[in-house]
Amino acid sequence: MSVITRFAPSPTGFLHIGGARTALFNWLYAKRQGGKMLLRIEDTDRERSTEPAIKAILDGLTWLGLDWDGDVVYQFTRAARHKEVAESLLASGRAYYCYASQEELEAMRAEARKEGKPLRYDGRWRDRDPAEAPDGVKPVIRLKAPLEGETVVEDAVQGRVVWQNKDLDDLVLLRSDGTPTYMLAVVVDDHDMDVTHIIRGDDHLTNGARQTQIYQALGWDVPNMSHIPLIHGPDGSKLSKRHGALGIEAYRSMGYLPVALRNYLVRLGWSHGDQEFFSTEEMIAAFDLGSIGRSPARFDFVKLENINGHYMRQTPDAELVDAMEQLLPEIGAQRQLGDTFTPALRAKLIAAMPGLKERAKNVVELLDSAYYLYAQRPLILDEKAAGLLADGRVRLAGIVEKLEAVSDWTSANVEGVVREHAETLGAKLGQIAQPLRAALTGRATSPGLFDVMVVLGRDETLSRLRDQLSAASAA
């Protein structure tokens, strides 16, 4: 049997972190088994489904590096097929027309609440003759679910889960306007797409029982099911925006690398010994459904940042510059950078990257720490840098002239000049380096000072020093 999984998001919002993990698990399982992962957009909710949400889902999956096989299937376009299946169940006696009014249904719910019972349809039209139907009422089609016995889902994660059929009512398959319900559409689409394995959140576990009843009524094979626990916040509560319940595009905008987010997500609820970092090939080779835990995973931004920092240090310098440039359409204007790097700035960023990426935890921090490379003269110093320069400016007197004499502008040569200057003054190296760093970068921290001077180049270094020192004398 060829394994076929599917990721089936509803485009009523962007691709959130839980959906991304579900997509990753489906993708990994299909890859591990040499099968396929299909993508279906469940857009039957026409009022809430939007084109921007569809685009965000597709872009988010692509950014994460999760591809799918074949064309995207749009559920709404298959409405005629869903209706055809509902009518076939009607013809076989496995479904029936229900003419219960909205008022009757509300009364049933009120009575159930009063008695503290589950909200269930009481089956009043299950065996009635449609000839008794009231005039002008358009019926729904309901599944004639079994009244006795039990419905079982042999779940690869949750184990054997059993429902008593008396507790599952006759669910609606086709609404009175002829549109299919989610329950019917999912079963028909999964069957027609030859899906063999359904991997989704455990909030769908009861849906698994209801959908199993539809499969059985149709005489179709029930796919293997795996219901994975949801992601909770670090405090164990339901995941919210403050915990990290954000769209994937938000993580991209915050400067996380797709390889890092993918690695973090795979470890949310799935384990493989003590291994923390996985290449894509290692993920695929190791992934199995049996190692998914039954308890909710807890989202931890600190751990995500640590993983991201690890991958930033492992990523080639030119690729990190590309990642920085991809963020420019969103934040470049704030830094007067526009939407692309100039060739000259790109070369400087690549040269400076070994020092830059040692400190940064994400690409936004990387761009901020590279401020000294793209800052316009005269530099605007932050508060700490301004304080360091104010305290140490007097110790920089004469250093410009000494640096002007350096013809071979290397890290070793400029370091030698700065050390000699400090010795002449009887000062420690830091007492010179700190105000010098502030004048050259506008910040109190930066990559190694002498590497910074080399990347800036002789002319830019001297010009920035003159700017800051002349500004002081003018004041």
Rg (C-alpha) for the chain, rounded Å, is 31
Active site residues: 241
Cα dihedral 277, 282, 284, 285 in deg (nearest 10): -130
SS3 107: helix
Q: Which residues pair with 73 in a beta bridge?
A: 40
Q: Classify residue 282 by burial, with Cβ atoms within 10 Å: 0-12, 13-18, 19+.
A: middle
Which of these, 251, 238, 229, 247, lies nearest to 304 by C-alpha position? 251
Residue type present at position 375: A
Q: Which residues pair with 80 in a beta bridge?
A: none
CA separation for the pair 350, 340 (Å, rounded): 15
Helix (H) or strand (E) holding 310: helix 301-314
Which of these, 308, 286, 292, lies nearest to 28 by C-alpha position? 286
| Distant-in-sequence, close-in-space partners of 337: CB < 8 Å, separation ≥ 6 | 328, 374
- DSSP 8-state secondary structure symbol assigned to residue 68: -
Q: Is the peptide bond before 229 cis (omega within 30 degrees of 0)?
A: no
Residue 363, phi-psi category: left (phi > 0), alpha (psi -120 to 50), beta (remainder): alpha
Report the residue count for the chain: 475
- DSSP 8-state secondary structure symbol assigned to residue 11: T
Helix (H) or strand (E) holding 109: helix 102-115
CA separation for the pair 145, 165 (Å, rounded): 8
Pairing relationship of beta strands 140-143 and 73-74 according to DSSP bridges:
unpaired
Which segments of 281-368 are extended strands (E)? 297-298
CA separation for the pair 367, 360 (Å, rounded): 9
- Residue in the structure block whose two tokens are 């009887």: 426
- Residue in the structure block whose two tokens are 């796919």: 223
- DSSP 8-state secondary structure symbol assigned to residue 288: -
Q: Which DSSP string corresponds to 115-147?
A: HT-------TTSSS-GGGPPTTPPPEEEE---S
